[in-house]
Amino acid sequence: MSGKHYKAHEVSCCIKYFIFGFNIIFWLLGVAFLGIGLWAWSEKGVLSNISSITDLGGFDPVWLFLVVGGVMFILGFAGCIGALRENTFLLKFVSNCPAHLPQ
């Protein structure tokens, strides 16, 4: 049997856990933003009356916290899993997203 053997590239443990640490901080900040957004909605009474969500006339700043927190949560989670598992698809997804890295 003539199978092809691919030489795996080893990643330095320092780099791997540095990326993981950065992404876990980013992920926890996303959770905090989501928590602040949900807390603000509960204080406004939006969560007790779900039909009032469609009645918002203008822009509600709580939406900004929820959207930013959701994006940060997804990117941080994908970065953590990608770094720990050395999953190139998830790492490319995180690195190609313009919201994750300031330019």
Q: Where do the structural domains in the chain lie, given as residue ranges? A: 30-46+59-98
Query: Using one digit for the tens of pLDDT, what is the confidence trace for 23-74?
Result: 899 899 999 999 999 898 888 776 666 555 555 566 677 888 888 899 899 9
Instruction: Give yes or no for a contact between 72 and 27, defined as CB atoms under 8 angstroms apart.
Output: yes
Q: What are the tokens at 75?
A: 């990117």
Q: Is the pLDDT of residue 102 over 90?
A: no
